[in-house]
Amino acid sequence: MVSRRPAVENLQNFLRISEAAEYLGVSPNTLRNWENAKKIAAHRHPVNDYRLFKQEELDALLSQLQEPRKPSKKAK
């Protein structure tokens, strides 16, 4: 099983949940919901167990959110 706990020396590439939420323009609760829905992976701080988010994963999610949605087909 792969650990979701980054080494202490590698924490500079991670944002805390409040920082990540501000970066994406959403609330921290939205990020928690997205984590529960498996839309984004949260890593855990090795000392205090806080949620941490990788900058590159946030960038990927942000570009995915900015893509235009396909129109849904509605029943007539």
Q: Quick: pLDDT tens for 2-55.
A: 556 665 557 888 999 999 999 999 999 999 999 999 999 999 988 899 999 999
Give yes or no for residue 66 having a pLDDT over 50. yes
Range of the domain at 54: 8-64
User: Crossing angle, helix 28-36 and helix 17-24, to 10 degrees?
Assistant: 100
- Is 33 inside any structural domain? yes
- Is 59 inside any structural domain? yes
The whole-angstrom separation of Cα 52 and Cα 29 is 14
Strand 14-16 with 43-44, pairing: unpaired
CATH number for the domain spanning 58: value is 1.10.1660.10
- Is 13 inside any structural domain? yes
- Is 37 inside any structural domain? yes
The answer to whether the predicted template modeling score (pTM) of the entire model surpasses 0.95 is: no
- Is 72 inside any structural domain? no
- Is 74 inside any structural domain? no
Number of structural domains found in the chain: 1
Quick one: pLDDT at residue 1?
46
Model confidence pLDDT, tens digit, residues 18-29: 999 999 999 999
